[in-house]
A and B are shown apart, each in its own frame.
Chain A
Amino acid sequence: GNSVTQMEGPVTLSEEAFLTINCTYTATGYPSLFWYVQYPGEGLQLLLKATKADDKGSNKGFEATYRKETTSFHLEKGSVQVSDSAVYFCALLPMKTSYDKVIFGPGTSLSVIP
């Protein structure tokens, strides 16, 4: 079946450190891949997405590249800020799925300290 695996958290980094959150997936064909972010006390919001192999999604300094060969979509940011403290969810939308039924990973909590 379809599934998403993320690195376990929580992750604690100092401000301006480099961030990587690993995400791997299991799916048939070519799913669409997403990163959503949940700030404290809020719902999730889309951070970035990629819809085909080798696509790079980017937003707010975050990047992730769709790697079909390694079935991965790792999230990276070169220099994190305190305001990036949140929970990050990797997600996929399987091929030929109607109605945008997205499958979410368990989430990775990030804390950035000054």
Chain B
Amino acid sequence: DVKVTQSSRYLVKRTGEKVFLECVQDMDHENMFWYRQDPGLGLRLIYFSYDVKMKEKGDIPEGYSVSREKKERFSLILESASTNQTSMYLCASSFGSGGADTQYFGPGTRLTVL
């Protein structure tokens, strides 16, 4: 089975802190994604990556950056956390054949910024 793991289930940080969220997948997937999930808004794409060292902005990239130094790992970075970044963050990966591949999700990290 595909497994996508996220470094923390719950995280509490203070305004202005630099925050790292880590995601690892074990199925050699090409594509990896970071979403945030907020009530009533569904999932919104922050960034995605289709290859090592490649990244593309999603719909809401402001205030975030990403890093993909290895194929299996995709990190989301909040350079200076703000209270409006309190949310559930979901990482996902997919094979990347371009044929409507299934996205596999991690369990999520619930981030609270005080």
Chain A: residues with CB nearer than 8 A to chain B?
Answer: 4, 32, 34, 36, 41-46, 49, 51, 89, 93, 98-102, 104-107
The chain A residue with its CB closest to the CB of B4 is: A43
Interface size band for B: 20 to 34
Interface residue? B75 (CB, 8 A):
no
Q: In whole angstroms, what is the CA distance A3 to B103 when docked? A: 18
Q: In whole angstroms, what is the CA distance A46 to B101 when docked? A: 10
Q: In whole angstroms, what is the CA distance A107 to B103 when docked? A: 16
14 pairs from A and B in contact (CB 8 Å cutoff)? A36-B103, A43-B4, A43-B90, A43-B105, A43-B106, A49-B100, A99-B50, A99-B56, A100-B100, A100-B101, A101-B45, A104-B35, A104-B42, A106-B41
Least Cβ distance of A43 to chain B in Å?
3
Contact with A along B72-114 (1 / 0, CB 8 A): 0000000000000000001010101011111111111000000
Least Cβ distance of B15 to chain A in Å?
27
The chain A residue with its CB closest to the CB of B49 is: A99
* A49 with B42, Cβ < 8 A, contacts A41-B107, A99-B56, A101-B48 known: no
B48 and A99 within 8 A (CB): yes
Q: In whole angstroms, what is the CA distance A96 to B52 when docked? A: 22
CB-defined contacts of B107 to chain A, threshold 8 Å: 41-43
* A99 with B43, Cβ < 8 A, contacts A43-B105, A46-B102, A46-B103 known: no
B106 and A100 within 8 A (CB): no
Task: Specify which of A49, A99, A101, A104 is in contact with B102 (CB 8 Å cutoff).
Answer: A49
